[in-house]
Chains A and B, each alone.
Chain A
Amino acid sequence: MKNFLALALTLFLGVLLILSLTGNTQFTTFGTDNTDNRVSSEYISKGAAVAIIYGVTNDPESGPANIVTSIVVDYRSFDTLGEVTVLFISALGVALLIGSGAKQKRLSLNFKPNFMLRVGSRALFGIIMMTGVYITLHGHLTPGGGFPGGAMIASSILLLYLADDEFRSKIKGFKILEGAAGSLYVILGLLGLVLATYFLQNFLPNGTVGNLFSSGIIPIVYILIGLKVGSEISGVIDNFLTEEDAL
């Protein structure tokens, strides 16, 4: 009886969604709208009347060549601060629910890692960590940025956890790094308020579009976000792998 009621309710919701979007004049058909009619035309043209050319244009309104980066970190940087706060709250919740002191043993698995796994994981750990750092640093020129770069750094540490039975990272160092990176993001925003007009404004010069050292504080913000996300997810994985007390 409950299954039938749930099926009827969800089918009704699906039919309602599809019918309300099909004949609508304001919801255009898939792929046929032009971005000139939307607000994104201001984000693409960066408010200038002439075209922005890679490697030639000097000091545009916002520096990155990757337009999604300029939206996430420059135009709507306050939403990114909110997202960093939500991640921090979830990592805090996991540490409160599961985490215990630093004296617990590792959760022991049923198999012992052999020689090939232990040696090969050391080599792969370096490659994955270097790829994560590269993607974080070049967030304003190529796709990527702080969030996938930080997740890759956490993946490399997950590899070390899986390959070795006794590995426990220094949890205190990670917590200090996470707190410092989060506070530095807010301090950068307050510096923008003091040195320029508003909170989180770009107060360093923008440079030429396409150089590595360009677009003001945006690479610095992405490095801070990468460090914070990486150390947070590593802390969550370590909390999941500790053994609880004997009941």
Chain B
Amino acid sequence: MIQYAAILLIVLGLYGLLTNRNVIKMIVSLNVMEIGLNIFIISVGFVYDGIAPILTSTNSSSALLFVDPLPQALVLTAIVIGVGTTALGLAIAKNIYSKYGTFNLDEVEEK
């Protein structure tokens, strides 16, 4: 059920990116798409009745069933890169406002 919700989040984020004309709303839609993508990648690695992939004093490496640790390492990188993209996008939006006086791309194209 979570996988269907993640795919629908990606579709919703893409629709918001295509139809909004406000720059800040476009960056919000990009973030919604990234959250959906991260949830989908981690849901690929889930195992029913598995435990978190950390060795403790009660779990040795062959005792029980572990959840797949490889998608978690990939998503860790993806979240931090999403922050970098958002920061750069907001810097560009701030410069657009200080030069044209509006956030709306239709009014920017007329000037």
Contacts and interface: CB of A to CB of B under 8 A. Distances in A.
B87 interface: yes
A30 B81 CA distance: 27
Interface in A32-76: 32-35, 38-40, 43-46, 51-55, 65-68, 71-72, 76
Q: How large is the interface on A (under 10, 10 to 19, 20 to 34, 35 or more residues)?
A: 35 or more
Interface stretch (A11-19, A163-171, A180-188, A199-207): A11-19
Interface of B: 2-4, 7-8, 10-11, 14-15, 18-19, 43, 45-48, 52-57, 59-63, 65-70, 72-73, 76-77, 79-81, 83-85, 87-88, 90-92, 94-95, 98
A54 B14 contact: no
A163 to B, nearest CB: 22
A46 B55 CA distance: 12
B91 A10 contact: no
B62 A68 contact: no
A108 interface: no
B77 A71 contact: no
B69 A6 contact: no
B91 A3 contact: no
A2 interface: yes
Interface of A: 2-3, 6-7, 9-11, 13-14, 17-18, 30-35, 38-40, 43-46, 51-55, 65-68, 71-72, 76, 79-80, 83, 86-87, 89-91, 93-94, 97-98, 142-143, 147, 209-210, 229, 233, 236, 239-240, 244
Given A80-B77, A236-B87, A52 B55 contact: yes
A125 to B, nearest CB: 22
A210 to B, nearest CB: 8
Given A52-B61, A90-B85, A98-B91, A143 B54 contact: yes
